[in-house]
Structure 1
């Protein structure tokens, strides 16, 4: 009996006995392949070598010793390995288990997990506008670390899971800013974006962004910036701006007539554009016009916006042309120039109309300029002479006024912005009536200004002296004490903010002990 166990032990040593009952009659899996490799997963497929079998797979980082890897069992011809490290090569072995009898191991087989694909960040939805009756328009924007990548955009109803993909856009672009239209109105939606770094190498989805496209009816205030140009003796082009934020205007109503007419008594026309050409108008006539938007889903009509007033050209009165600013000097004077079409002898003078950008034309400042009988007219316009607001944008128009009392149309506008003016300090006195002391009194009437006082021994360079601050106001008194005897220069100037200063005022004073 002992001899039998000894023979069995020696047989195991020579043949490699294990706990598993390997049987070369059990067919191993065939046609083994790796698919759908991502930055953290892989799908392994194979063909069955034995019906009614299960399969064992052992895997780990490349080069591992079999028996130390991760062991999984499946009854399918496919298995998905997850939670893998990106940019890492793995080995795996595969065998068949038929009623606890095993085929030989196949392998090692290898695959490499892709680099980690970065998730887009800062996804936003903006510029939500009503595009047309079939939906609205939105702009999507996000940030990415990649210069060249493609992106998938998933858009769906807010209550649905990201895998439902009720509405799905797949955008193949390196641009991280994209405009989409025909988006469902009046419904809360959610959007995500992810990066496609390579075939089947996708990032995670970005954080979701919720939004809603709302369509409202036409409202008062949707129409603004009414204007008329290209005015001739019997025609004019009317234009306006229309707010399209959440509003889609199907058309616009225009009512016009002789200036001062009552709404409902003028001529009513419609257009789908934000401009309209009027013709067959009488010359030399002042007109008003009004505009309102029309929306299909409005329960009521909005009020008309306006009026804007314009005058058709008179017969025979020459028209200025090519109004422009040639040059602007240091003191803010604008060198204006325009030409004149026709006979300038019939022009008595010219009228400049100067008005703030957002102020109606009928509130313009009118400046009369005599005719010098030149076909090229120049005029030096200094805003400081006309009590205009500081740091404000204005528009300028010009027209001819003829000897028969008629006038041409206004041409323009051109635009300019006034400077911030800063008046010099009004110095009442700088004296030294007390020992080792300089007494100063001044007035600084600039709004929201401060007064800069700099002093030093006579002849010092500005910027190297001693700064002594002061406020604005009238008859401000300051003293500079504990000075040594000598001759001093004292400079004063206004600081009006935004790096705008007046010129310095210099006073020289002798200080005694």
Structure 2
């Protein structure tokens, strides 16, 4: 337990080990109780002075003496006398430790020069009791040459216990230890140490926190305060001090006292890439304006994240601006800009909350770069972003001229506020790099982008004032210098000869002149799409199981028209058959406005097609809205013919829907599913999509010669197929699943004019199956659904 020492003389601190070595006697109550020649007067056997190990109430050893009035119903007194001893030297001290865990007991001490009886005690002196072990020091100088008894008086009334331990008679040290050790003028590499002492010479030992005494750096000094120099910045140190009173006469050590050196002033070049957070010598704060300075240091809404919410390792910081009135600070170290000519470069971006889409900042939202040259007393704005001047969602490069600032004490801050207007915008402001540098002679390009991405080519563009550039590209993760290098004077530049369904990285740098190029910018990633299938043969089906979620099958495309963080994807959460379904999750604040389109479907004029799909809401408690349309381009504007629309449906099991559509012209068509649920719902599932020709209308003879029916339909796997034929010589029946695999076949019928066949598919997966009835007149197809 913590020991609190209260001195009744000028002596403040003597260690217990020293007292043991210099004691005339010590009683720790570890032996026989009462100790030899000690006496007591308790008046009541139920409340005795006893030896105790209760609750380890002892500063040393395992035992202590215990006074008790626990069983007393009235005022109660106990007295304990030491053996008789002689005070032989001036400044002799008697020390003892005491503790009172609870209650309001009273403890006093006194001295008798005659006998060990309470009537012989000339005066009683009160002790201030504490719930922690506390040492009391009594100066016995006035009793030099006398033989005395030292007495303890305990008084209580049903007040539990007081414990006494380590009663020691000793002479004070010849060399008194220093007191009141403090630090001042703490800098990155030095600190001033001071103490109170009557000596004129001292020894200091110091080192990093936790060092073993005797292994640190020792310094003998005649100066108080004493300045320690040559320290390391941002380092925790301990130090000890002792008095030197003469040759071979030193006090005990006092310490350890801890201090931590602050950050050093940085001299550029300097780059913080935020791969760790909070970086060394940076700070955050959760309140305050540029006029007041930061408040609430140590707590903030700044978060460690991946840049622009694109996934991967955390290499940036961001702040979400949504709550009205929020004010947040990100504070840099201090910089020495006295060499002049510096610039501050910041990579930043704005995206939707936890998303990657573009979004405008709120009407009075602002993010400012501030500078203080007086250790944070005042701040001035050197750059500002707002709705009229904001970074893009793909990242922007901002250069701030610092040539006007040549002081040695410059601190920067990124300060953000959501303002007082409660805008609907909910966005993240990102910072990727913070760099102070000499401006390069050749400025790197910014805003690298891709466009017109198709399976074998892509257009690359960037922002730059140069007229010539070098591009290097290859598959994702290639080491720079090993890729394909292209020098171009064209911006945008088209890369051709790429491989479909492949992930690529590219870098760009400016060429400003012979031997003068900028730094590379990149890598920027793009993935070439697959070569989408063109569907001309029917039936065509898709159950979304061929891809690993959240990827969607080749040829299916998406349009995230509301720009939120969610769009159609494949998911394993609520499949109807197999492992995956299409899936659209909610946005907290925005209504869904998301399309997903089929591959190109080549339909023939006058032919009627059956389009079948299953759909559901994830939860019956959250109504969803879904429509299906058909058009001649894969975009929302082209989806002019609505085939199906269900508003605020809430069934959380799949319904299977079949709708028919007759193509007006022979052309390429696309079917689109449109999720338009209100904000803050849950999710939509779509599965087991298929399209086939509803009747073989092009072969009139087969229509007349074969009539077929399957029932029940849908079914649980067992159904009856009835086929009636006219003038048919051959008949073959096949059942195929949606992947084109034959799961049933038969061609030996006794009477092909009238076939009534029970077909059992109960051991097959649920889903869509196609019955192909083939004869010498042609093929007729019928669809069944196994649920």
Pairwise TM-score range, normalised by the shorter structure:
under 0.3
Compute the TM-score of the two structures, normalised by the length of structure 2. 0.18
Compute the TM-score of the two structures, normalised by the length of structure 1. 0.25
Greater relative CO, 1 or 2 (CA 8 Å, sep 6+): 1
